[in-house]
Amino acid sequence: NAGAMHVLAVSGMHVGILLGFLQWVFYRIPLLRRRNVYIIFALLFVWMFALTTGMSTSVFRASLMFSILALGQLRGYSFFSLNALFVSALIILFVDPNALFHVGFQLSFLAMLGISLFFKPLQALIQSRNKLINFFWDGTALGLAAQIGTLPVSLYYFHQFPNYFILTNLGLLLIAGVALISVFILFLVSLIPY
């Protein structure tokens, strides 16, 4: 009802948060910043995360999709490139043609398609000098764009529209991001005997 099931499943949102965080961390290391090596390092950690979580279908799909999008970044394309999105869909469908009929596949790619097509126009609706307002509006615009993309499939399969998705997605996106990054940091420092 709240449109927040994607937070409970290890999915594209988690892989995206992890990739964004890792790129931010590795970009801070001057040696990795040259020739954009930080993106490759971030992708290696994303695939280790995928293997650690058992390489479920949703995690494999998200890892592959974000890997192709990140490699597209290396080539100078926009992060939400439609070509990279379609290439990742083709690879997944080549491996498993029946994936086309899985609800998770449809929702994942329609969400990314919605973000690719609608995020920038929605983001441009509100421009502020206040970074906090921009941060919250960007999160809202991202959720709206994904919701627009997934609306037809959501109505078809679930016969309802999640009325509270704007409120739940903003709050849960922040909580999920903090939780995922905290667990990742805990995992990295767990070997320190303290």
pLDDT (tens digit, 9 = 90+) per residue, 164-179? 666 666 666 667 777 7
From residue 32, give the alpha-carbon distance in Å to each of 38, 42, 46. Answer: 5, 10, 17
Kindly report the pTM of this predicted structure.
Answer: 0.73
C-alpha dist (Å) from residue 79 to 26, 68, 119, 161, 166: 17, 10, 12, 28, 23
Sole residue written with tokens 């919250």: 136
pLDDT digits (tens, 9 = 90+) for 83-137: 778 888 898 899 889 989 988 888 888 888 888 899 899 889 888 888 888 877 8
